[in-house]
Amino acid sequence: MIAQYFNQPDLQVSIILVLLGSGLPCLLAGIIILIGRSFSGEMRTLAATSTELSKRAISHDMASIASTTTDLLSTINDLMKTAAGTGAFLILVGVLMMAAAYWITNGLI
């Protein structure tokens, strides 16, 4: 039914615009996540405070606080890795969408 309104070049142009329109925001979101989330001020403050707390706990023989602080630092590290993985995935998806749009464009010419 929709075929009566679109011919093949119009459909290809529509697909190209959709792929570029969704690929570029994915690419930009991935770059923003990689730059913004992994180097945020809150993460640095939390990591510095946890390190200082760990030093105090060791000097006062509080083993439970030291182990909890170590777990907190490990969690912060995992959170940064997750943000980096999400950003890298979004960049990959955005580049693949734009590559597909380019591939379809070459078929038009």
pLDDT mean for each 10 residues of the chain (109 residues): 73 90 94 77 69 67 69 76 86 93 82
94: phi > 0 → left, psi -120 to 50 → alpha, else beta; which?
alpha
- Report field, pTM of the whole predicted structure over 0.75: no
Q: Tokens 């792929």 belong to which residue?
A: 19
According to the model, what pLDDT value does residue 16 have?
A: 92
Tell me the residue ranges of DSSP E strands in the chain. Answer: none
According to the model, what pLDDT value does residue 42 have?
A: 64
DSSP state of 62: -
Whether 102 contacts 19, CB under 8 Å: no
Whether 100 contacts 19, CB under 8 Å: yes
Which helix (DSSP H) or strand (DSSP E) does residue 16 occupy?
helix 8-32
According to the model, what pLDDT value does residue 66 have?
A: 67
